Amino acid sequence: MQLFVGLGNPGAKYAKNRHNIGFMVLDEIASDHGFTPWKTQFQGQVAAGTLGSEKVLLLKPSTFMNLSGQSVGEAMRFFKMAPEDVTVFHDELDLAPSKVRVKMSGGHAGHNGLRSIHQHIGEHYQRVRLGIGHPGHKDRVSGYVLSDFAKAEAGWLDDVKRGCADGAVELAKGDGGRFLNAVSLRTAPARSSKTAKAVETKKPEKPEDTVADTRSALQKLADRFKQ
């Protein structure tokens, strides 16, 4: 069994915050892949299902972001999981909006949710880093992550959620590359042939579309004086 964890804060007040993008992605995965209804367990909300041939438990900690590790640790102990069985979906300030990256192990980079998980299970778990961009100054970070996504961001946010759900089976298989390909097909789709033609510059007229001037030089000169 694998444990997919989405990070965020519980309650309607925080539901649309940038900090809650991990919750949003798990909701999309649960919906798209027919997971069980969410229920309260392990100090969080859980849903069970399968991704391909892999049994997966989805977990949204209800402990608030800074104590996420309590919920993750409890679920892991119950199912006797190793840290390598855990994948955490979280907001990432150091990635531009709509960018997604997969990383195994490493530091928490000041992310309070990851910091708490480190304290409870160590650092040897997989992360799916969901880019939300940076407000430009560290003093603005707290207000930025705890504010809602702007209406103008709805398009790319939906693409990221759907892309993660599309690639969830590959992620459960351990193929991070194919997972990211699935995300890219949503966030940066290849242009269709129709689109490519639409942006081409206008082609010059074909020779057959113009009438050849067969006048002699003397005739051209005479015609100029007639005008």
- 217 in a structural domain: no
- More confident: 100 or 196: 100
Residue 47 · residue 35 · CB < 8 Å: yes
In the block, which residue shows the tokens 């909300």? 45
Number of structural domains the chain divides into: 1
Residue 110: pLDDT band by 50, 70, 90 thresholds? confident
Q: How far apart are CA 206 and CA 217, in angstroms?
A: 25
Averaged over 99-107, what is the pLDDT? Answer: 93
Given 19, 33, 90, 111, the catalytic residue: 19
Residues of the domain holding 100: 2-187
- 40 in a structural domain: yes
- 179 in a structural domain: yes
Best CA proximity match to 59, nearest among 45, 41, 40: 45
- 56 in a structural domain: yes
Q: What is the CATH number of the domain that holds 87?
A: 3.40.50.1470
pLDDT digits (tens, 9 = 90+) for 65-84: 999 999 999 999 999 999 99
Residues in a beta bridge with 57: 3, 48
Averaged over 118-147, what is the pLDDT? Answer: 96
- 132 in a structural domain: yes
The pLDDT of residue 189: 80
Of the candidate ranges 26-30, 78-82, 169-173, 201-205, the one whose mean pLDDT is the lowest: 201-205
Instruction: Show the tokens assigned to 57.
Output: 């438990």
Edge-first strand listing for the sheet containing 86-92: 39-41, 44-51, 54-61, 2-6, 86-92, 126-131, 100-104
**Element at 29 (helix H, strand E):** helix 21-32
Check if 19 is active-site.
yes
3-state secondary structure of 55: strand
- 193 in a structural domain: no
Instruction: Show the tokens assigned to 20.
Output: 């809650």
Average pLDDT over all residues of the chain: 89
Q: How far apart are CA 152 and CA 77, in angstroms?
A: 41
pLDDT digits (tens, 9 = 90+) for 140-151: 999 999 999 999
The pLDDT of residue 107: 87
- 195 in a structural domain: no
- 212 in a structural domain: no
Between the alpha carbon of residue 182 and those of residues 25, 51, 68, 91, the distances in Å are: 14, 15, 28, 19
pLDDT digits (tens, 9 = 90+) for 177-226: 999 999 999 998 866 555 545 545 545 444 444 445 666 666 665 566 55
